[in-house]
Amino acid sequence: MLSKRLENLHPYVPGEQPKDRDYIKLNANENPYPPSERTAKAVSVLLEAQSKRLALYPDPASETLRDAIAEMLNHTGGVLCTAQIEGEGDFACRPSKADAIDFEVTRDMIFCGNGSDEVLSLVFYTFFDAETPLVLPEHTYSFYPVYAGYYGIPLDKIALKSDWSLDTDKMLSEAQTNNSALIFANPNAPTGRALTRSEIRAMLEKAPSDRAFVVDEAYVDFGGESAIALLKDFKNLVIVRTFSKSMSLAGLRIGYVVANPELIGALETVKNSFNHFPIDVLAQTAGEAACKDVSYYAANAKKIVLERDNFCDWLKERGWSVIPSATNFVFAKKDGKGGEELYRAIKAQGVLVRHFATAGIEDFLRITIGTAQQMNALKAAMENV
């Protein structure tokens, strides 16, 4: 009765969302701050004053949301923690000098989906096939191998270097040998390390130009360098981003691609062959309002970065090995202690962090950065362990 395809499926296991106890949740890289008041207000106005709109299909092309995303990127350079905040009006940010994009991001460069997980699934379908292995780091976002199984795409996994950074030379030589597409997260997960924009440019110069080069920027707002400025020079670059981390909207499911219009058109063809209406009217409304209120989210990203750097220092003072992080989480281990054992002991104190039972990283904990109050509770729990 079941299809043969089902045998290739190895579903992703997300961070636990327990209901048995009110844990401090530092296990899923969610944002500890709620959406802005203006974002919440836009949703409540829709529900209360315009509820008739719920009876109608949403805009299948999410045009207003895509305009707002493009505008938000033009006003921030695609990195919230370095953007300069200018008051509280719409799009009240200016990119830092280093992150400025020297062209205008426009609606036809944006593709939206129901969370970047769905967007990634469509990216896999659109750009990767079963004939050539896809090059990716051995330790990276664990959904990529899940989609590869779903679509029957062979993988060419490249070990990380001893400092947990990507082995870009090896990734490129493999890609050149097989004329492969590439995918990785930058900053990478769960390690937290980032490549600079000039390192990405150097990769793009050597990678096959007729193959997609996919960079997942889920965490870039917390300290990475966005590759958006490189879209002018590289027509094969595909950048995946999400509202789930820096924009405090994980519960509404909005992800997007920034790429050249031709590739966006291909993604639209795939989307319209699968689900015409991936973003519902509430999510489109909230997403647009959040983009306009980007200065609020930029201020939160800056707070999270400060909190992260303090926490890294705190861990190092206590003898932990900490991988440098450009994200809203820290990947760290304590010599002589198992990751599983630490995770359980911290959980028993009411704080949830993430442990991966994956060979090579099983000694590590991935700890999401929360508010100052949450981090104090975590530190107290860790002192007791």
Ligand X SMILES: *Cc1c(COP(=O)(O)O)cnc(C)c1O
Give the footprint of ligand X on this chain (CB under 6 A).
29, 115-117, 141, 185, 189, 216, 218, 242, 244, 250, 255
Distance CA 256, CA 242 (A): 6
Distance CA 193, CA 226 (A): 14
Which residue's CB is nearer to ligand X, number 255 or number 287?
A: 255
Which residue's CB is nearer to ligand X, number 58 or number 208?
A: 58
Which residue's CB is nearer to ligand X, number 83 or number 214?
A: 214
Enumerate the H helices of the chain as residue ranges.
Answer: 37-49, 63-76, 115-127, 143-151, 168-178, 197-206, 261-271, 281-292, 294-317, 339-348, 372-384
Which residue's CB is nearer to ligand X, number 82 or number 242?
A: 242
Which residue's CB is nearer to ligand X, number 270 or number 385?
A: 270
Shortest approach of ligand X to residue 231 CB, angstroms?
Answer: 19
CB-based contact 278:112 (threshold 8 Å): yes
Shortest approach of ligand X to residue 384 CB, angstroms?
Answer: 29
307-to-286, 339, 370 alpha-carbon distances in Å: 27, 23, 8
CB-based contact 332:315 (threshold 8 Å): yes
Tokens of 70: 């493009």
Shortest approach of ligand X to residue 216 CB, angstroms?
Answer: 5
Which residue's CB is nearer to ligand X, number 82 or number 244?
A: 244
Burial bucket for residue 170 (CB in 10 Å: 0-12, 13-18, 19+): middle
AA identity, residue 333 = K
